[in-house]
């Protein structure tokens, strides 16, 4: 009898051994996936991972990129001034790089009114002449909490928090903190029906590749009525383009409310810094100053916008890392099983981009579908933005997200930085992503760690 038991044990061990040898998990197309930005990929995983020119730039575009780099870092001052004149009269910050440090992600400020990459959009019910948000009388569509000497800021921000405990199947409890924003002070009465939407500066590398994805390919993923019944109903936003005076597919901004990097950058110059430009030649401040009365608009010229535009279009994408690690491979399997790829589409192929061959016809892995999705009441700002309703946000690309702490010294994620790490970002997912969030909460600790390792690797 003992001999039989012994033989059964040996046989079982041999079978287990054979099973392990036969199991060779692998991430498909691993050599291609490492090159997250195609030929624009750079193998850098340290402090300077996000602020490199694409290595495949031609000499002409590299020169423009370097000029745009200097202008992206320029700090604007109160006019009149011989250099970088035009900040204000009200503003949120004084340079592009201040909201996108090292071309990465701004952290949530310890003091919400400190200089940072955080600000509040605002509007009242209705739409403007273009079908976009309706500006708040006396304040506009972005609230400025800083001002030039002798001028009052439009507002100061306030925030309270609501604790939301989330329980895992294994008994672990994580407490999320939901921020509730309000206007603490304002130069005139702030309308009670105004809607607020928080924003924080996202990374800016890889934007040219996202702009080079064809509209046709983006719309292939759109499924507004959820015809396939998978619970995912991605929707494109369509917005006004001041360059062409036409309606265009929205690609950038947290709600895909701008059509191009050029418009996004020009709008940020006007709203974030109070710097007028050829696309937005009127001061954004709707407050008590009626502009700065200096008759110097636009305060930057088209060459400035063009240089910064090329700079942002041609930043390199950091390579994916550790894709052959066994834990990362397990995380990849779980990422797919959780149906995260239904919105965070891994692969795209860019089209021809006029004037910048470096970003044309590239196989890339940004992990976004560029579409709007209902993310549930927990993340809702209650504020429509063109076709986006209060619950809808554009799928953020995930490439390089695991380098955030190395580059920017924090792990604040989502549209307002409320998530303090990747796990919290997943737990905030609701709406169309609720089943994926529930999948994650049912995983054991080891599998949760593996899934986070995969997301950190891309």
Three-state SS letters, 388-438: ECCCEEECCCCCCHHHHHHHHCCCCECCCCCECCHHHHHHCCCHHHHHHHH
For the chain, the average pLDDT equals: 94
Assess if residue 54 is contained within a domain. Answer: yes
Give me 166's structure tokens: 């989330």
**Nearest CA-CA partner of 132 in 283, 241, 25:** 241
For 277-323, write each residue's pLDDT tens digit: 999 999 988 766 666 778 899 999 999 999 999 999 999 999 999 99
pLDDT for res 309: 98
pLDDT for res 295: 85
Assess if residue 72 is contained within a domain. Answer: yes
Backbone angles phi and psi of 449, in degrees to 5: -60, -40
Model pTM score? 0.94
The residue assigned the tokens 């401040």 is: 285
Of the pLDDT bands very low, low, confident and very high (cuts 50, 70, 90), residue 418 is very high
Q: What percent of the chain has pLDDT over 70?
A: 94
pLDDT for res 288: 60
Rounded mean pLDDT, 108-127: 98
pLDDT for res 311: 99
Rounded mean pLDDT, 138-160: 96
pLDDT at 115 over 80: yes
pLDDT for res 23: 53
The β-bridge partners of 422 are: none
For 235-277, write each residue's pLDDT tens digit: 999 999 999 999 999 999 999 999 999 999 999 999 999 999 9
For 205-219, write each residue's pLDDT tens digit: 999 999 999 999 999
Rounded mean pLDDT, 404-430: 98
Assess if residue 345 is contained within a domain. Answer: yes
Assess if residue 2 is contained within a domain. Answer: no
Of 285 and 120, the one with more pLDDT: 120
pLDDT for res 286: 72
pLDDT at 70 over 80: yes
Assess if residue 21 is contained within a domain. Answer: no
pLDDT for res 406: 98
Query: Total structural domains in the chain?
Result: 1
DSSP letters for 345-397: ---EEB---TT-GGGSS-EE-------EEE--GGG-----BTTB-TTEEEPPP
Assess if residue 142 is contained within a domain. Answer: yes
E-strand stretches of 202-334: 238-241, 246-249, 317-318
pLDDT for res 9: 39
Assess if residue 291 is contained within a domain. Answer: yes
Assess if residue 403 is contained within a domain. Answer: yes
Q: For residue 151, what are the domain limits? A: 30-457
């Amino acid at each position: 009898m003992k001999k039989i038991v012994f033989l059964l044990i040996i046989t079982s061990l041999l079978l287990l051994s054979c099973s392990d040898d036969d199991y060779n998990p692998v991430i498909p197309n691993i050599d291609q996936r490492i090159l997250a930005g195609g030929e624009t990929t750079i193998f850098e995983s340290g402090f300077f991972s996000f602020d490199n020119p694409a290595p495949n730039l031609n000499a002409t575009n590299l020169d423009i990129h370097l000029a745009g780099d200097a202008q992206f870092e320029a700090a604007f001052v109160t006019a009149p001034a011989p250099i970088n004149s035009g900040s204000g009269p009200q503003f949120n910050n004084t340079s592009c790089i201040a909201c996108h440090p090292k071309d990465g992600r701004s952290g949530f400020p310890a003091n919400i009114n400190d200089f940072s990459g955080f600000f509040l959009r605002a509007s009242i019910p209705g739409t403007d002449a273009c079908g976009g948000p309706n500006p708040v009388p006396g304040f506009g569509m972005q609230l400025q909490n800083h001002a030039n000497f002798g001028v009052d800021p439009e507002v100061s921000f306030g925030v309270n928090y609501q604790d939301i405990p989330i329980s895992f199947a294994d008994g672990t409890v994580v407490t999320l903190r939901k921020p509730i924003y309000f206007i603490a002070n304002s130069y005139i009465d702030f309308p009670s029906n105004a809607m607020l939407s928080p924003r924080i500066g996202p990374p800016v590398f890889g934007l040219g590749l996202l702009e080079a994805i064809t509209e046709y390919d983006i719309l292939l993923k759109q499924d507004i009525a959820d015809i396939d019944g998978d619970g995912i109903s991605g929707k494109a936003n369509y917005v006004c383009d001041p360059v062409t005076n036409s309606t265009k597919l929205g690609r950038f901004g947290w709600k895909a409310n701008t059509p191009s990097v050029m418009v996004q950058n020009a709008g940020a110059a006007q709203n974030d810094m109070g710097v007028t430009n050829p696309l937005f030649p009127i001061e954004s401040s709707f407050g008590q100053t009626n502009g700065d009365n200096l008759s110097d608009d636009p305060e930057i010229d088209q060459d400035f916008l063009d240089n910064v535009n090329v700079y942002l279009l041609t930043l390199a994408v950091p390579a994916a890392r550790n894709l052959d690690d066994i834990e990362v491979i397990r995380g990849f399997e779980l990422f797919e099983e959780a149906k995260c790829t239904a919105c965070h589409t891994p692969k795209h192929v860019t089209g021809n981009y006029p004037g910048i061959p470096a970003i044309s016809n590239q196989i890339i892995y940004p992990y976004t579908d560029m579409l709007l999705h209902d993310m549930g009441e927990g993340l809702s700002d209650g504020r429509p933005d063109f076709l986006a309703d209060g619950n809808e946000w554009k799928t953020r690309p995930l490439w390089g997200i695991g380098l955030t702490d190395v580059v920017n010294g924090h792990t604040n994620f989502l549209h307002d930085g409320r998530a303090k790490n990747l796990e919290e970002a997943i737990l905030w997912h609701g709406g169309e992503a609720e089943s994926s969030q529930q999948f994650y909460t049912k995983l054991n600790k080891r599998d949760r760690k593996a899934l986070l390792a995969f997301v950190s690797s891309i």
